[in-house]
Structure formats: C-alpha cells, structure tokens
Chains A and B, each alone.
Chain A
Amino acid sequence: MRPLALTRIMLAATALLSLSAHAQDSLPIGLIQPLTGSVAYNGTAAAHGAELAVKQRNANGGVLGKPVEMITEDGQCSPADSVNAAEKLIQRDEVVALVGAFCSSATSAVMPVAQKYKIPFLTGVSSEASLTEAGNPYFFRSAETDALLGSAFSKLIVDNLGLEKVAYIGVNDDWGRGSVKAFEQELSGHGVETVMTEYFNHGSSDFYTLLTKLRNSGADGVFVAAETQDGSTLVKQLKQFGIDMDVFGVGSWATSDFIDLTGDAAEGIYAAVPYVSNLPGERNERFVKDYTEAYGQAPGKYGAAGYNALNIMMAAIERAGSSDAEAIVDGLKQTDYEAPNGRYRFTAKGQGYGFQAALVQIQNGKTDVVATTAIAAPDAGN
C-alpha cells in the first residue's frame, strides 16, 4: 500500500519539476541575489537596480525585438542555495544569461554551473580578486576588485589626510578581509605604517572593545570595511567613544540610509565607492531620478551595480544578435557601455575597468565628491 502511495508522490513531484515556466516570446535572463537572510538589504538594492534597467530597456523595445523577462531567484548568499537557483534558472526557465549571486562565495559556487551549461555569467558585485583568475570563459565582472579600488584611491587618501599610521578594521567575511588586505598593501606601498588589523563579525552590535584597542593603537587614521548596518554602528560608537581620527573606508556609506542611520557621527568620514548618487553628469542624474521615482530613495552602490550589470548583459545580447552563448560571450567582450558612473569595458579575463569610482566625504548630511578616478585595468597598473 505505502510503496504505491510513494510512487505516486514521486511521479507528482517529477511532473511538478518538469513544468517549464516561461513563455517563448520573451528573452529570459536570470538574476540571483540574496533576498532573505543577513545581506538581504544589499541584495534587494541590487535587484531593484536590475529591475529598473530591464523596465527601461523593455520600454524601448527590448532586446532582439523581444521584451526581456528577468527572473529573480533568492540565493540567500549561500553557495548551495545559489547553485539550486542557478540550476532552476538554467534548466527550468531556460535563461540565456545569468547575473548575480552577490557574495563571492556564492558566485564562486555558481561559476562552474554556468561553465558546465555554457551560460554567460556576469557579476556586478562580487569583489574577491581570484574569481576572474579562475579562467572561466563565461564569467565576467562589472565591479571593481578590492585591489583596484585600493590602488585607485590610496595615494589620494594618504596625501589628503596626511596619514602616517593607519589601523584597519574589516567585517570578517571575504569582502572585508579582501578590502583590508588590498588597502593595507597599497597604503604600505606609500609608506604608511600599519598599527592594527582587526576583524569583527557581521551583525556585531558592540564595538567598544575594538575601539579601546583602536584608541590605544596610536593610529592617526582608521580604515573601515563595513556595510551599512555594521558601519553605521561602528562609526556612531567611534564618535561616542571620543575617538577623533580620520575615518575612511569602503562599503555602502555614500547613501542616504547610511547617513540617516549614523546621523552626526557620519560627518567628515571618507568613503571610496564605485558609485555615489551625486556623481556629476546628465546620465547619472537621469538614473538617480528614475531610481528615486521607482523606489523612493536615491540609488547606492548596489542599486547602481545591479542596473549596470543588467544593461551590460542586455547590450551584449543585442550585439550578439542571438541568444547563442558563444555569441553573447563575444558580445560581452566587446562591451563599451556608458554607465551613470563612466564607461565599462572588459579585460581578456572578463574584469571590468574604465568606469569611475569616487572618493566622497560626508558633509552636512550630504556626500561631497572629493575626487573621481577611472578604475584601471588590473594589468595596466603593474
């Protein structure tokens, strides 16, 4: 009796799985972002940006004469869940290209899947340097790596702030550790002494112990790699603690959310970001206006990253003239995309370069762009 019932359940399950979801007259692109879990805040922003890009493109006739259908899946920043999402998008939704996965670990797990199925895969966020070194021909990155951002701004920071001794604080994940390492290397190259390197766990609420060490480290500036939530708590406590040193760092700090959360404590801090909403230029103004209309707040770096990634991918498909993977890969290689924050191109390994990144300082609750510079191709530097 029971085996029979089980057979029935299994057959039903199989039927369910093999349902094909999408309609043939649209062009499906898959997006994997963390929509639940601890990085959902940033993942949602990236998904918003991507959604906007697709909406705009479809309003102008879509790609290859078809509307683009973006299918978003929750990867929760976990490698296994992201692989599940990728398998589902590729097999069931038959997407022609994949964007996303956000966390480098998740992206790293999706990369072999994309390669196996020969699906072009673009990340607009994951910054772990080694990803583009893996030799995956289908993988592209329209984001700065930690090292690229470091080399772009370290000289400027040292000169502007006159730093001699720097303490480094990073969130204890791949991105935080990578950023700290990259900036430390760059700043040491400019003769800056490292007096402290510490990591904290995402979601920590109390930094006083870390700040005690910072106060006693003798640093005259502190580098911080943290996202909105951790960063605002850390910066607030830094000011409460009465530490008066130059604060600079990376993370989504040049956003209204961060400034609202952090309040006065945010005043005067520097952030090196690949994007900030008050970058000059008509292209950016239009993007900011559209994004704000759609989501009620100005875009931050992840909103822009999602927007750019989808635009780059859609342009590449258009250039390819078909949804054939090899053609899209060729299309991606020829990318020359005018983004709100400059021009994107790819190196032979699929690393994006050429776009602008900005050093901003928060003043009077606004983000002042101190300097912008184009991210150079990694090989050009050394």
Chain B
Amino acid sequence: MMILERNTLLIMAVLAALFPLLVGNQYALHIGIMVLFYAVLATSLNLIVGYVGEFSLGHTAFLGLGAYAAALLSLRMGLPIWATIPLAGVISALFGAAIGAITLRLRGPYFVIITLAFAEVLRIIANNWMGLTNGPMGLSGVVQPALLADASPLAAKRFYFYLALAIAVVALYLAYRFVYSNNGRAAVTVRENRYVAQSVGIQPFAYAMRAFVLGAFLAGLAGGFYAHYITFVGANVFGFAFMVSMIIMVLIGGKGTLVGPLVGALLITVLNEYLREFQELRMSLFGLIVIGVVLFLPNGLMGFLNLRRERRRATPAAAAESHAEAPGGSA
C-alpha cells in the first residue's frame, strides 16, 4: 500500500510537471492550476476526514484565514509571495491549534456543526471588520510577483502552475510522511478504534490535534496561493461553496488514501468545467452526480479500485499471499 501509493504519487507529480510543457492552451493550464489548488485543499481536509475520522464542515476557516493572511501581508506589509504563502500556512496552523483544542472534544454531528459555526463566525467577521478586511468590498489587487511584470500571459500561467505544483508537492510530502509515520498510524488507530488506541498507549486527542493542525497549515498554504493567483480575497473564501467542493472531492476520490483526494480534485474540477456545456442544467446535474456517487461508490473511487484490485488478487493467488510490501516477513 505504502509503496504503491508513493509510486502513484511520484508518477502523478511527473505527469503534472510535464503538463505545462505539453499543453500550451492557457485555459487548460488554468484548470490545471485550479486542480492543484483543490488537490492541496482536499489533501488537507482528508487529513481530518480520512485520518482523524471526524467530518469537518468548517475547513474553509483555514482556507479563508490563509487567503486573508497572504492578502494582508502582501497589501499592508509589502511582503513578497515567497514569504506570504508560508506565513499564511503558519497563521492558519495557529488558528487550527486554537480551534482544534475546542472542537476536537466533540464527536459526530456535534463536531460537524461546531466546525461549521467557526467558519461562519470567521466569515461574518471578515465581512464586517472594515478596518482590517475592507468588509464586503474585499481586498483586491493582491500583488503579483515582480518577475511576472513583463511576462507573457502564458509564462505567467506556467509560473503559477509550477508554484501550485510546488505547494502540492510540499503538501503531499508532509501528508505522506505524516500518514506513513508513527503519527499517522496513531491517528488511524484512533479513527478505527479509540479503545484499542488507548490500550496501546495512544492519547487520542493528541493525534487528532496533530492531524488537525497539519490540515489547517496545508489549507492555509492553499489559501495563500489563492490570494495571489485570483488577486482578490473576499469573505466568500469562508463560504460553504468551497466546503462543498472540498468534501465532495475527498469523498468521491476516497477518504483515508493520499491518492483519492487528488483524483477527486481532478475529477470534480474538470467535471465542473465540463458541465458548463449544459448551461442552466449544470448545478442540477452536479447534485445528481453527487447523489449517485454516494449511492454507487460508497467508498469513493479509490475504495472501488482497491476492492477490485483485492478481488483480482484474491482469485488467482489466494494461496500465495505476497509479502513483498511487508519487510521483515521472513523468519
């Protein structure tokens, strides 16, 4: 699983890195950038939904905090993009620690609602604190990097694509290290069975918290990127629309896997654009597709593929269960 997932991720990264060189169409590049942006977001949410096992509907809080942080740092303090985006992540992570300390005490529907409440409170603050956030007028004209001043639109697109790719690679590296370390195992143990976790010495809260803060950090990075790429930040970054997209990506791709959210981000972003063909029917169809996925792909695309893989492997080689992936299998 671990090696397979790592190889899949590496291949995806290589394909993604080649994409701008092969494709000169700027619209396709833009969609590619949005896919990467959503991939980071979905990965960050997946740390909570997939690895802590709690359903957060307030993850836009961290996207929004990151976006506002980057926009303000850039507009008010004149910091360059390579400083604003990491700082956006750090600021989100700090809020993540504070919000996590409160929300992670709760489970199930209560956790769902309290996280949603936090995101809404932040949205309302962003919409009304004129002095800081410029209220509903939002923050426009977030500064682009100086090196893009004279660049062609295509070059600028490529720059943003590779920037997004870099963030995505960082996000997946961190997520990968986390998930396949003792920390990730502890989080999964807590998710799967709190009792077992405690009985082998795991403090459930601590691991939920680590995953939550890491998720907040990554969402903050995505937010920072968003601020610079879109150049406008308004209170809608805290809104439910982003939340819905993220959730659908994670669940459609398959929560609790690293590749799943990436596939989800790719599918949903492209689907959303493709559905433009259907004009007014677009959102209705989107709703139907979501319902269909819940009913027919309950474990997401990755869950479906894993199941098929397992079945295929189980039939011919049930006797010869391979231990190739488990080192130290020999006595």
Contacts and interface: CB of A to CB of B under 8 A. Distances in A.
Q: Do chains A and B touch in the complex (CB under 8 A)?
A: yes
Interface of A: 1-3, 5-7, 9-10, 13-14, 16-18, 35-36, 72-74, 76, 78-80, 83-84, 87-88, 90-92, 104-105, 108-109, 112, 116-117, 128, 130, 134, 172-174, 176-178
A302 to B, nearest CB: 18
B8 A3 contact: yes
Contacts of B15: 6-7, 10
B27 A92 contact: yes
Nearest to B156: A116
Contact of B34 (A7, A14, A73, A84): A84
A112 B148 CA distance: 13
7 contacts: A6-B15, A14-B23, A17-B273, A78-B236, A88-B27, A172-B136, A174-B138
A79 B236 contact: yes
B163 interface: no
Residue of B156, B226, B234 with highest tally of chain A CB at under 10 A: B234
Contacts of B144: 112
Interface in B115-165: 127-128, 135-138, 140-141, 144, 153, 156
Contacts of A105: 136-138, 140, 232, 234, 236
B7 A18 contact: no
A10 B266 contact: yes
A87 B30 contact: yes
The 4 closest A-B pairs by CB, nearest first: A91-B27, A109-B232, A87-B30, A17-B28
B270 interface: yes
A53 to B, nearest CB: 19
Contact of A35 (B8, B12, B241, B280): B280
Contacts of B274: 16
Contacts of B34: 84
Given A17-B25, A109-B231, A177-B136, A1 B266 contact: no
B214 to A, nearest CB: 24
A173 to B, nearest CB: 4
B309 interface: yes
A9 B231 CA distance: 31
A6 B128 contact: no
B259 to A, nearest CB: 8
Contacts of A36: 282-283
Contact of B241 (A78, A90, A104, A173): A78
Interface residues of B, number: 49
Contacts of A90: 26-27
A334 to B, nearest CB: 27
A178 B232 CA distance: 18
Given A17-B28, A109-B231, A88 B273 contact: yes
The listed residue with most A CB atoms (<10 A of its CB), out of B138, B259, B267, is: B138
A104 B137 contact: yes
In this complex, the member of B11, B31, B305 whose beta carbon has the largest number of chain A beta carbons within 10 angstroms is B31
Contact of B234 (A79, A88, A177): A79
Contacts of B219: none
B266 A9 contact: yes
A17 B12 contact: no
Contacts of B27: 17, 87-88, 90-92
Given A91-B30, A128-B137, A6 B12 contact: yes
A117 B30 CA distance: 13
B309 A172 contact: no
A73 B276 contact: yes
B241 A18 contact: no
B230 A79 contact: yes
Interface in B267-288: 267, 270, 273-274, 276, 279-280, 282-283
A13 B241 contact: no
B3 interface: no
A92 B276 CA distance: 12
Nearest to A108: B140
B137 A116 contact: no
Contacts of A116: 153, 156
A2 B138 CA distance: 43
Contacts of B232: 79, 105, 108-109
A116 to B, nearest CB: 5
Nearest to B35: A13
